Amino acid sequence: VGHPAVTNDGDLIFFSSNNKGGYGKNDIWVVQKEKRNQWSNPMNLGPAINTVGDEMFPFIHSDGTLYFASDGHIGMGGLDIYKSSPDSNLSFTSVINLKYPINSPGDDFGMIIEKGGERGYFSSNRSGGKGGDDIYQFELPPLILTLQGIVTDSKTGVILSNAKVQL
């Protein structure tokens, strides 16, 4: 059992373990606080997250997104970093590879993102580093969107002024 990651409210702990009932070597599991100082039985996050390989180094972002490293999902080589967002039942059903420049042919793992979500860190043994496993920092560029359009009534085609558009 290793790599514990606690949600901001302290009610869930995600961790990596080779517990019986898993899908492979090490899987991602979660326990939920039930009462004061009591926790649920470990629940495996299932086959969307876990593979016959290793799933390790979970990190749960304040927005609920799970980041983890795996060598069992299709990737660039070694451990790659993936993310998944839960549905309302805390089920993780799809996994997204973070690709280059986060992932490399080496081992990439241990993703941590600051609360604001614009800066983070991860570990890697990629070529060009200072030693074995190095810590890398990244910053997300500001996201600027421009939207233009005309809002019309779907039946009559009449242009609607002062319409509120929500994305």
Question: Residues 100-135: pLDDT tens digits?
Answer: 999 999 999 999 998 877 899 999 999 988 989 999
Beta strands in the chain (DSSP E): 2-6, 12-17, 27-35, 38-39, 43-44, 55-60, 66-70, 80-84, 96-97, 108-113, 119-124, 134-139
Other CB atoms within 10 A of residue 50 CB: 26
Q: What is the structure's pLDDT at 140?
A: 79
DSSP code of 100? T
Q: What is the structure's pLDDT at 131?
A: 86
CA distance 120 to 143: 16
Q: What is the structure's pLDDT at 100?
A: 92
CA distance 13 to 6: 5
* Contact call for residues 71 and 81 (beta carbons, < 8 A): no
Question: Residues 73-97: pLDDT tens digits?
Answer: 999 989 999 999 998 787 898 999 9
Q: What is the model's pTM?
A: 0.82
